[in-house]
């Protein structure tokens, strides 16, 4: 899968993209991430990308010109049969595991626009992007952390990125509930033992124990998720 990220601060993404699973996925050709500095698409000697808002108000607004030009350059320079342009914005639909699965299934390339300052010119929303996505109800300095969240979440769903497809299938939220508890060596640590069932070798019983613990974990920490699971089961 391919990602083209439009940002004023590409350095905020370079470091994380060169670590761990994301780095390996890129090296193996399973993932492509191109970073595009919006200032390179700005005109004038100062490469201005923002200006004060019409009608007054605090802060600065990203101008439409550099963003439109950047998206058009990406679309022309890097054709993709199934592409989607997304503005990362607190006004967008909430990103979750279901969103991640949908985006991986439907698109070959995502163009992610990282907002900044007081936001972007409204004409970007109205006439350029396909949709807006938010990673949560809180305020970030810009869209760069959100872009990394989306890239990481989608990368895990790309076949071959993880060592085992089962790893992605068993993650929290994949089935609408949280994950079961994990244990590893030593079997006893500071007087605390690993549950005996996990040492039994009875895989059927272990699976039932894990499922029960996952439901218990969800009921304790995120009971709202169980309501969603019940609704899905009733449909």
Q: Computed over its alpha carbons, how large is the radius of gyration of the chain?
A: 22
Q: Average per-residue pLDDT in the chain?
A: 92
Give domain 2-155's CATH number out of 2.120.10.30, 3.40.1280.10, 1.10.490.10, 1.10.10.10: 3.40.1280.10
144-183 pLDDT, tens per residue?
999 999 999 999 999 999 976 655 555 555 678 999 999 9
Does this model's pTM top 0.85? My answer is yes
From the list 122, 54, 50, 58, the residue with the least C-alpha distance to 89 is 122
Same fold, 2-155 and 170-234: no
> In this structure, which topology does domain 170-234 adopt according to CATH?
1.10.1270
Residues 6 or more apart in contact with residue 229 via CB below 8 angstroms: 175, 176, 177
122 is catalytic: no
Q: List the chain domain ranges.
A: 2-155, 170-234
Active-site residue (options: 171, 175, 179, 216): 171
Instruction: Please identify which residue in the block is written with the tokens 């200032």.
Output: 39
28 is catalytic: no
137 is catalytic: no
Instruction: Please identify which residue in the block is written with the tokens 């600065």.
Output: 60
156 is catalytic: yes
Per-residue pLDDT band at 234 (split at 50, 70, 90): low
């Amino acid at each position: 899968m391919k990602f083209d990220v439009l940002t004023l601060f590409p350095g905020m993404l370079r470091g994380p993209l060169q670590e761990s699973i994301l780095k390996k996925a890129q090296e193996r050709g399973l993932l492509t991430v191109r970073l595009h500095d919006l200032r390179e698409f700005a005109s004038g000697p100062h490469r201005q990308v923002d200006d004060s808002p019409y009608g007054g108000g605090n802060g600065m607004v990203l101008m439409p010109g550099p963003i439109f030009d950047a998206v058009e350059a990406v679309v022309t320079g890097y054709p993709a049969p199934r592409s989607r342009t997304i503005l990362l914005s607190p006004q967008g639909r909430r990103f979750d595991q279901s969103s991640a699965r949908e985006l991986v299934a439907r698109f070959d390339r995502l163009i992610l626009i990282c907002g900044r300052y007081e936001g972007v010119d409204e004409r970007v929303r109205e006439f350029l992007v396909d949709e807006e996505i938010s990673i949560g109800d809180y305020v970030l300095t810009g869209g760069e952390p959100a872009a990394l969240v989306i890239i990481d979440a989608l990368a895990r769903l790309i076949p071959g990125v993880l060592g085992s497809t089962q790893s992605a299938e068993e993650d929290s939220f994949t089935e609408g509930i949280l994950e079961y508890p994990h244990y590893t060596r030593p079997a006893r640590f500071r007087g605390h033992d690993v549950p005996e069932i996990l040492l039994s070798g009875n895989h059927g019983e272990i699976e039932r124990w894990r499922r029960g613990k996952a439901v218990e974990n969800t009921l304790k920490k995120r009971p709202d998720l169980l309501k969603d699971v019940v609704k899905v089961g009733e449909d």
